[in-house]
Structure 1
């Protein structure tokens, strides 16, 4: 092994440390996207372990420091195998956007055990090399299996590039494993640049995927009301936009405008913290009455809108009445005070193609009529 090769491994560790910072930063701005920070951690420990095994341990063996070779190789193998297990878990979490299951967590002790078995066998470099190569193949298998799910733009292109890179690396590491099992393990100067270049490609593509997911997460967050978790006005129109032309043409739209009665008294008497709890409870209650195809949004302080879609839009008045009764009988969970709220609701129905903006104006007019009629009632305007 040349000094240049060792320096290349050290430079790879330095880059892995920089990537760790980048992945950590992207995870901070990604608002709940899973698997980003752990990818950076896993890759760093994998790079550090590989440098210790393929670099430091090899240097010590050549220098005749046999007493130090085995522990350095074992530590390198443990770091590398553990890092590879974390990478595998990161891919699962990122693609599936969920936490790992108990069986998936078993990858960590299983891959770490490979290095431990090699250490117990007393085969310092070849054994640890075999353990690391096998762990690398497990990671690449997980990566190839999971990335096939990312088949929608803009995720498709970087995911496919990662698949190509993983397939080439699998071939290289399979050859490494064969050499380790035959006692011929050692750094291969002929293809190390290919190996590192492919990992640069994979990390670059992973950063692209993370950035795309982060941007989508931020876009979704911009469409949500932070207090109640419902859509805001922007999210309302964005959710309806793909089907709005068809729904308008088929007259399959109805709008329910809702406003809590005398909500200012709740804030004045109990404080804004209780007022916020009432709004959250109100949102949960309304959501429990609507279908998954209805679009529910908070458009103001205590103002909400439900857009009823499909043939059932003609039954929007009955839905509004169910919501009114549910809110009138709603009770706050202890230790909150026994706050009682009612709501006025305005409904706009259409028997012919009608734009959403016209329906929303008609629903607002019906809502004002309900307020003037004494509140806690439903008024319907048919266009």
Structure 2
């Protein structure tokens, strides 16, 4: 917040220290040399955030003072004088001893919202008790305690060992300085841990791990440090996904025609079309291109999509298979079409049902004329969890 300069008189006086009259350049108690003049005094308002009580922010207003020591500084201490702008007399509010050549800092916590304050500082020779004030006094207003509006939570995206969060904020306008992002739930248990900050309206948490449910809330911080209430909670479950996977049609290369959903990059998802671990294989022939569910797997066509996942940088009209359908699954072969997604329900290694999704990029052939399919896929490692990349609305 902009401060106002008030010129300090250069006249010296012989008043007692208790008077604290800012129009006097010094207070002389005994013989000695007057110290140099403090330089570049600046004051600014800042709200200091302390934490949350539930979803409500807790903090206090402060006025931050900064200045530089005199050019001939001899390690003298500094006295800070201040008054409410409606008062006529200054009071000594602090003695600062921890300055460096680079500058001095003091924070006045004894301020109230809706009031204005004026400050000056003085260099003090403690041996003689002589002091010299800054050239100007600085005035600053402490605004009313106006809390910014909380962001509006969007739909999060569960990625591979990551979660992408997004939100909207149509209320605060240019007053927004940044957003704070908090982890507020892990596997159903409450948390409150700041995972990061951003000046945009999206955040990628790359510390999230596959197979866990994470809850997040976001708070707005305005240009004066005021913090909003926390947003509504956003829940997401990261899961493995891969792009550009390739399998061959069973007739062209049966050893690479099968596919199984796996939980890590250390496992090869491409297997033989006759493998007991395969969840489906690719077949071509007179019946066209087909995905054949295997070993207890079932499949349902989700429909045309534009991407496997609508994550960071996705177009506004991005379409993805976000949540597994609840009905329509079959163990019969299903016709396969480029740019379509297919959701699978498969038995996991733990004997429980897991969901996976395949999005077909290309149906074609290689130089040897062998039919092949290139696709992206994702797999939900949590049993019976229908969220493929986002929390349901």
TM range (shorter): under 0.3
More helix by share: 1
Larger radius of gyration: 2
Scaled by the length of structure 2, the TM-score of the pair is: 0.25
Higher strand share: 2
